[in-house]
Amino acid sequence: MKPAVGAAIDRVDARAKVTGQAVYAAETPVAGVAHAVIVGATIAHGRVRSINTREARALPGVLAVLTPDSAPRLPPAESNPKNPGDKILQLLQDDKVWYTDQPIAVVVAETLERAQHAAAAVVATYDSTPPVAEMRAVIGEAFDPIELGPNGKAVTTRGNLDVGLAAAVTKLTQTYTTPVESHNPMEPHATIAVWQGETKLTLYDATQGIFGVRNKIAKLFGLEPTDVRVINHYVGGGFGCKGTPWSHVGLAALAAKAVNRPVKLVLTRPQMFSLVGHRPETLQTITLGADANARLTVIRHDVISETSRFDQFAEPSAVATRHLYSCPNVVTSHKLVRIDIPTPTFTRAPGEATGTFALESALDELAYALRVDPLELRIRNHAVRDEQEDKPFSSKSILECYKQGAARFGWAKRAPDPGTMRDGDVRLGWGMASATYPAKVSPASAIARMKPDGVLLVQAGTQDIGTGTYTIMTQIAADAMGVPVEQVRFELGDTTFPETPVSGGSQTAASVGSAVKAAVTTLKAKLTPLRRSPGETWGQIVARSGQPEISFEHKTEKRSDAHAYHSHGAVFVEVRVDPDLGEIRVSKIVAAYAAGKILNPKTALSQFKGGLVWGIGLALQEHMVRDRRTSWAVTRDLADYHVPVNADVPDIDVILVDEPDPFVNALGAKGIGEIGITGIAAAIANAVYHATEKRVRALPITLDKLI
Amino acid sequence: MQPFQYLRAESADQAVKAGTHAHAQFIAGGTTLVDLMRLHVMKPAALIDITGLPLDQIEATAGGGLKIGALVSNTDLAYHPTVSAKFPALSEALLSGASPQLRNMATVGGNLLQRTRCPYFRDGTSACNKRAPGTGCAAIGGFTRPHAVLGTSAHCIATHPSDMCVALVALDAIVHTHGPRGDRAIAIADFHTVPGDHPELESVLVPGELVTAVELPASPLAARSHYRKVRDRASYAFALASAAVALELAGPDGKARTIKDARLALGGVATKPWRAKEAERALIGKPATDDTFQRAAALALDGATPHDDNAFKIELARRTIVRALQRGAS
C-alpha cells in the first residue's frame, strides 16, 4: 500500500466545509440560547462615570443589561505576566477604561437584533483623561519587558559589539518600522456559554486552543478545569488572535450566569479590531558591519514595540536575528512602551514576520554598499551551526533553498544596479530574502481506538484552524496502522479528548502528529499478537474480543534540546512599479522552503502560499490606523483595512526542498503555518528599491511613499 | 439596527408620496443603506422599496444617446454593449468599483446617492456634521489620508466615493427625477452639492424626489472617454485619486492633434464628483501633448486644500489626470 503521508490527498473535511455541513462555534444548535452584544467604551483612558440602561432594559426581548454595577462578581484572579497567553481580561468587574471599544456593558436579549438594538440605547458617561495613542509620542519611556514568553530572554549578547564594529570595513545603521496590524480572520470570535448548574460549564468557542480557554475560564470563575468543557470542531481562521481567550469568552459565561440561560456572543467586525489583540507597531534599529570579504562582523538589532497600560506583550522581532546568520558579535534587545491601547498579541510568525523585514532589508542595503549580490551576501554568511545556542541544527537546507529558488526565478539574469530593469515605462525590481521559523513541538496526547467494524477512531483535543489537521492526522494514523485513510476517523476539538497544545507556533502537525503516530503504532503492536490468522482484520480481532473497542492512549515527552530546530526558506520576488503613479504590483513570487518531511503537499502549499499572500499585505497594504488624538480604531472594517485581493496576488511558485531530519520529531516534519510570511515583506521592499532606487523602511509601502 | 416600517411601492407616485414623510428612505440594492443602518449611522423610520418599479431598462434615445433606468444594476450597465462601445469611461468606472457581488446588487440610482466612506461618519460615534449636524468634524485633525482636498469646508472634508458619478460628469449625464412637484432633469454636475455649512445635504433632491433615470446624451466626446483610478490595491478599494476624461480631437492621426472639446472630472479627491472646468478650458484648442495635459492638471488642483495625511493626493491627482488624458488622446 502506498503511504498516505506525503500524498497530496484532498482535505477530509473539504466536502463538509464547502457544502455548509461543517458546524462552526457560533452555529452550534443550543436550545433556548439568548444573544449577547458587547457595548464598547468610546474613550481610551479614564473611568465610566455612569451607564444609563433604563431605555435599553425596557425594550422588548431584553433579558439583562450587565454593567460594572450589575455584573456578577468574580473571585479575584491573577494573570501571569510572564505568560503572554494569560491575558488580563475586562469582565465588567470595575469602572476603569483602558482602551476604546473596551467592554463596559453587555446586553442580553431573545434575538440578536433585539440585543443589538438595545445595545445602541445604552448611554454611558465618562471621566476621561487624554490618551496616548502613538508609541513615538512616549518612546523615551521604553522599558524592559519581563521576558518574551516562549522566546525567552529579551536581551542577548554574543561576542562583543565594539570588536565587531572595529573589524568592519562597511557599516550601516538604519531604523525600520512596521505598523499595527489586525488578524481579522473571516470567522469572527464567537462563544456559546452553557451552564449545567452552578459549577459545570460548556463553551462552544472559536479558538486555537481549547485547553487554554478551559484553564483560563476555570481560573476566572473559580472552577476546576475538568468542570469546564470547551468544544470547537472547526475554526474559520485564527492567525494568533484566537490563540488565547479574550474578554468576550468570560463575558459570555458571565451573561449566561446572569440570565440563567445559554448565551451566544459573536463579535462584530469593528470589535475584531479592538477586542482580540493585534500585531503591535514595532520600531527596529539595526546595525550591520562586514569585512572586505562581505562576512558579517557585527549585528545589532534593537526592537521597541507597543503594549497596553495593563498587560505585557512584546513582539519578539529580533529573535530570528540570533540564529539566522554566522556572525561572531550579535546583540539583540526588546523594549516596550505603554500606551492607551488594548494588549497586542501573537500574529502569524510573531517576531519573525516583522523582524525579518528589518534584518533582510538591512542585509539588502549592506549588499548594495558592499557591491555584492544580495543572494551571494547571504550565502557567504551562512551559519552551519546555531551560533547563539552553540548547537548543531537538526537539519538546515537553506543553501539548497537559495539554489533551487534562484534557478527557478532566473536570479542570475538580474541587473545589479537599481532602476535599470524596465518593461516599457514600467520599472521592474527583483528582490530576495531569507525566510526562517522555529520548528516547535510540545508534549501532546492522542488516543487510538480500533472498533469492531474496522474503523480506526483517533481522538486528540487539538484544533484544525484551517491548516489541515483533520487530514494529516488521518494520513499519519492510516500509515501507522497500515490501513487506507478511508478506514480512519480523526476527531478533535473537545477538552474531553486527550490534551494537546495550542494551535500556535506552527506546532500542531509535529506535536499532535507525533502523539497520533505513537498511539496508533502502540495500538497496532497491542493488536498484532491477538491475531489468530494472517488474514484476520483488526476489526475482526476487536469483534472477537467482545469489547466495544481496543484502545491505546499516548502522551509524548519533551523533545531533546541537543539540536537547534528551524525551518528555512528563500523568497524571490518581482515587482512592477508605475514610475508616475507609484502603483506597485507583485508580479512574480518564487519561494523555496525546507521544512523537513512534507506530510501533504496539497495542504502544505496552501499554508506556504497563504503566508506569502499575508506577506504581500504586510509589505504593501496592512495598516490598522488609530486616531492620534483619541486612540480610536479608525480602520474598523475590511474596506478600510486592506488585505490582498485576488488581483494583488500573482502566480506563486513554491518549491518544496527535500529535507530528511531524524532529530526534529518522530515524523521528521517541521511546522509550516508561519514561515511563509517571513522574509517576503523584505523581499518585496528590496524589489521595490531595485525598481525605484527608493528604500522604504516604514511598512506598508503605499504608493504615496514612492511618488 | 433601529426598527423601521417597510413599504413596497407599486408606482412611482406612491413611492414619492411615501418618501416625502420625515425619515423615509428609498431602498433598492441596499448596498450602502443596509450597511449604514446596521452601523446605526442611518436610522430611517420607513423604508420604501422601489425594486418593483419599472425602472430597470436601458433604452436608446432619439438623439442617439441612452436612457438608463435608475434600477439598472451596475453590472448590467457596465457590460451593456452600447455603453462599453460608445461611453467607455462609464464601463471602466463601474468595473473599477466595488466587487462583482456588490455591482450585481447596486443600482444606478443608488450609486448616485452613495454615502461617503469617511471613517468618522461611519463609526456612529465621532463628531460628524454629516451624520449629526452641528456636532463638528472629527476628521479634521484626525486621520485624513482618505479625505478630500477639493470642495471641502470647515465643517466637512469627506470624499465622495463614487466612481460611476465621476464618469457621468465627464459624459454630461442628465439625472431624471420624479418628485412631489413633478418631473425634472438635472445636469449631473449640478446634482451633487459641496458640504459648505450643510454637509448633511449631498444633492439637490427634495424629500420624496425619486431618481428615475440617468440619460447619456450623444456626444462627439464620449467615444474617446476614459476613466483612470488609482488606489491602494489592485481591486476592491476606493480611489485615492481618479480622473474621467472625454476628448474630441481634430486633425489627422499621427502627429499631435488639436483638442476640439474636453471634459475632465475627478474622483477620490473631492467632496462631490468634481468637474474641473478651468482645466477643460486649458485643454480646448490646444495640441494634445504632455505639456498641455500637465498645465491642465495643475489648474485642476488649483486651490486644493490638504490636511495632515492627504497632501500627496494633490500631486497624485495631477499625475492621474495626465495619465488619463494621455490614454484618452491615444
Is the pLDDT at B253 greater than 80, yes or no?
Answer: no
Alpha helices in A184-226 (DSSP H): 210-221
Q: Which residue of chain B is at minimal alpha-carbon distance from A617? A: B233
Instruction: Please report the pLDDT score of residue A439 as a whole number.
Output: 97
Please give the biggest Cα pair distance in chain A: 80
Nearest Cα neighbor of B297 from B286, B308, B221, A576 is B286
Q: How far apart are CA B144 and CA B158, in angstroms?
A: 9
Q: How high does pLDDT run on average in chain B?
A: 97
For residue A418, the one-letter residue type is P
Indicate yes or no: CB of B232 within 8 angstroms of CB of A632. Answer: no
Tens of pLDDT, residues B35-81:
999 999 999 999 999 999 999 999 999 999 999 999 999 999 999 99
Alpha helices in A414-490 (DSSP H): 469-481
Collect all residues of chain B within an 8 Å Cβ-Cβ radius of residue A113.
1
Q: Give the 3-state secondary structure of residue A470.
A: helix
Chain centroid offset of residue A696 CA: 26
Query: Cell 522574509 maps to which residue?
Result: A679
Q: pLDDT band at A303, cuts 50/70/90?
A: very high
Nearest Cα neighbor of A476 from A451, A446, A437 is A446
List, in sequence order, every residue forming a beta bridge with B281; answer none if it has no partner.
none
**CB contact, 8 Å: B101 with chain A?**
no
What separation, in Å, do the N-terminal and C-terminal C-alpha atoms of chain A show?
60
Nearest Cα neighbor of A434 from A686, A650, A683 is A683
Q: How high does pLDDT run on average in chain A?
A: 97
Grid cell for residue B74: 451596475
Question: How many beta-carbon pairs under 8 angstroms link A with B?
Answer: 80
**Can you list the positions of beta strands (E) in A239-322?**
263-266, 282-290, 296-307
Is the pLDDT at A150 greater than 80, yes or no?
Answer: no
Q: How far apart are CA B139 and CA B142, in angstroms?
A: 5
Answer yes or no: are the C-beta atoms of A685 and A619 closer than 8 Å. yes
Average pLDDT (A284-296) is 98
Grid cell for residue B289: 501633448
Indicate yes or no: CB of B322 within 8 angstroms of CB of A580. Answer: yes
Instruction: Please report the pLDDT score of residue A19 as a whole number.
Output: 97
Instruction: Please report the pLDDT score of residue B135 as a whole number.
Output: 98
Answer yes or no: are the C-beta atoms of A148 and A316 closer than 8 Å. yes
Indicate yes or no: CB of A581 within 8 angstroms of CB of B316. Answer: yes
Residue A392, φ and ψ in degrees, nearest 5: -75, 150
Q: pLDDT band at A149, cuts 50/70/90?
A: confident
For residue A633, the one-letter residue type is A
Tens of pLDDT, residues A572-602:
999 999 999 999 999 999 999 999 999 999 9
* For helices A210-221 and A247-259, angle between their N-to-C axes, nearest 10 degrees: 50
Q: How far apart are CA B192 and CA A208, in angstroms?
A: 49
Is the pLDDT at A538 greater than 70, yes or no?
Answer: yes
Grid cell for residue A491: 476527531
Using left for φ > 0, alpha for ψ between -120 and 50, and beta otherwise, residue A371 falls in left
Answer yes or no: are the C-beta atoms of A414 and A430 closer than 8 Å. yes
Q: How far apart are CA A339 and CA A281, in angstroms?
A: 11
Q: How far apart are CA B20 and CA A485, in angstroms?
A: 66
Grid cell for residue B239: 480611489
* For helices A680-692 and A601-620, angle between their N-to-C axes, nearest 10 degrees: 50
Average pLDDT (A229-254) is 98
Window from A152-156, A433-437, B183-187 with minimum mean pLDDT:
A152-156
Please give the biggest Cα pair distance in chain B: 64
Collect all residues of chain A within an 8 Å Cβ-Cβ radius of residue B145.
625
Using left for φ > 0, alpha for ψ between -120 and 50, and beta otherwise, residue B232 falls in alpha
Q: How far apart are CA A636 and CA A272, in angstroms?
A: 8
User: Above pLDDT 90, what percent of chain A?
Assistant: 97
Instruction: Please report the pLDDT score of residue A210 as a whole number.
Output: 98
Is the pLDDT at A457 greater than 80, yes or no?
Answer: yes
Which residues of A are catalytically annotated?
A: 674
Instruction: Please report the pLDDT score of residue A566 as a whole number.
Output: 98
Nearest Cα neighbor of A350 from A694, A662, A50, A85 is A85
Q: Which residue of chain B is at minimal alpha-carbon distance from A703? A: B232
Tens of pLDDT, residues A597-654:
999 999 999 999 999 999 999 999 999 999 999 999 999 999 999 999 999 999 999 9
Query: Cell 432594559 maps to which residue?
Result: A57
Q: pLDDT band at A148, cuts 50/70/90?
A: confident
Question: In a 10 Å sphere around its CB, with 0-12 CB exposed, 13-18 middle and 19+ buried, how is residue A403 labelled?
Answer: middle
Answer yes or no: are the C-beta atoms of B300 and B278 closer than 8 Å. yes
**CB contact, 8 Å: B327 with chain A?**
no
Indicate yes or no: CB of A707 within 8 angstroms of CB of B316. Answer: yes
**CB contact, 8 Å: B239 with chain A?**
no
For residue A487, the one-letter residue type is Q
Indicate yes or no: CB of B126 within 8 angstroms of CB of A636. Answer: no
Which one of B141, B235, B315 has the shortest CB-CB distance to A645? B235
Answer yes or no: are the C-beta atoms of A489 and A457 closer than 8 Å. yes
What separation, in Å, do the N-terminal and C-terminal C-alpha atoms of chain B show?
50
Question: Which secondary structure element, helix H or strand E, spans residue A601, and what is its range?
Answer: helix A601-620
CB crowding B193-230: b at 16 or more within 10 Å, else e: bbbeeebeebbebeebbbbbbbbbeebebbebbbbbbb
**Can you list the positions of beta strands (E) in A460-560?**
488-491, 550-555
CA distance to A14, B32, B129, B271, per residue, from B115 (Å): 39, 7, 13, 11
CB crowding B21-58: b at 16 or more within 10 Å, else e: eeebbbbbbbbbbeebbebbbbebebbbebeebebbeb
Question: Which secondary structure element, helix H or strand E, spans residue A608, and what is its range?
Answer: helix A601-620
Q: Which residue of chain B is at minimal alpha-carbon distance from A637? A: B119
Instruction: Please report the pLDDT score of residue A81 as a whole number.
Output: 76
Rounded to 5°, angle at Cα A531 from A527 and A534: 125
Torsion of CA A254, A64, A207, A315, to 10 degrees: -80
Q: pLDDT band at B254, cuts 50/70/90?
A: low
Average pLDDT (B1-10) is 94
Is the pLDDT at A145 greater than 90, yes or no?
Answer: no
CA atoms in the 13 A half-sphere facing the CB of A279: 29
Q: Which residue of chain A is at minimal alpha-carbon distance from B98? A: A639
Q: Give the 3-state secondary structure of residue A491.
A: strand
Interface of B with A in 112-131 (CB under 8 A): 117, 119-120, 122-123, 125-126
Instruction: Please report the pLDDT score of residue A561 as a whole number.
Output: 95
Nearest Cα neighbor of A431 from A684, A699, A696 is A684
Tens of pLDDT, residues A510-535:
999 999 999 999 999 999 999 999 89
Indicate yes or no: CB of A642 within 8 angstroms of CB of B3. Answer: no
Q: How far apart are CA A462 and CA A493, in angstroms?
A: 5
Residue B94, φ and ψ in degrees, nearest 5: -65, -45
Instruction: Please report the pLDDT score of residue A77 as a whole number.
Output: 76
Instruction: Please report the pLDDT score of residue A82 as a whole number.
Output: 78
Q: In what order do the strands lie in the sheet with A426-438?
A: A422-423, A426-438, A566-577, A584-594, A652-656
Chain centroid offset of residue A249 CA: 19
Q: Is this complex's ipTM strictly greater than 0.95?
A: yes
Q: pLDDT band at A83, cuts 50/70/90?
A: confident
CB crowding B104-141: b at 16 or more within 10 Å, else e: ebbbbbbbbbbbbbbbbbbbbbbebbbbeeeeebbbbe
Write a three-state SS string for chain B: CCCCEEEECCCHHHHHHHHCCCCEEEECCCCCHHHHHHCCCCCCCEEEECCCCCCCCEEECCCCCEEEECCCEHHHHHCCHHHHHHCHHHHHHHHCCCCHHHHHHCEHHHHHCCCCCCHHHHCCCCCECCCCCCCCECCCCCCCCCCCCECCECCECCCCCCCHHHHHHHCCCEEEEEECCEEEEEEHHHHECCCCCCCCCCECCCCCCEEEEEEECCCCCHHHEEEEEECCCCCCCCCCEEEEEEEEEECCCCCCCEEEEEEEEEECCECCCEECHHHHHHHCCCECCHHHHHHHHHHHCCCCCCCCCCCHHHHHHHHHHHHHHHHHHC
Collect all residues of chain A within an 8 Å Cβ-Cβ radius of residue B235.
645-648
Window from A133-147, A286-300, A436-450 with minimum mean pLDDT:
A133-147
Tens of pLDDT, residues A311-326:
999 999 999 999 999 9
Indicate yes or no: CB of A42 within 8 angstroms of CB of B125. Answer: yes
Q: How far apart are CA A466 and CA A503, in angstroms?
A: 11
Nearest Cα neighbor of B190 from B208, B164, B172 is B172
Collect all residues of chain B within an 8 Å Cβ-Cβ radius of residue A43.
none
Average pLDDT (A222-229) is 97
Check: pTM over 0.95? Answer yes or no.
yes
- Which of B99, B143, B229 should be substituted to probe chain A, the one whose Cβ sees the most A Cβ atoms within 10 Å? B143
Q: pLDDT band at B101, cuts 50/70/90?
A: very high
Indicate yes or no: CB of B123 within 8 angstroms of CB of A636. Answer: yes
Chain centroid offset of residue B39 CA: 23
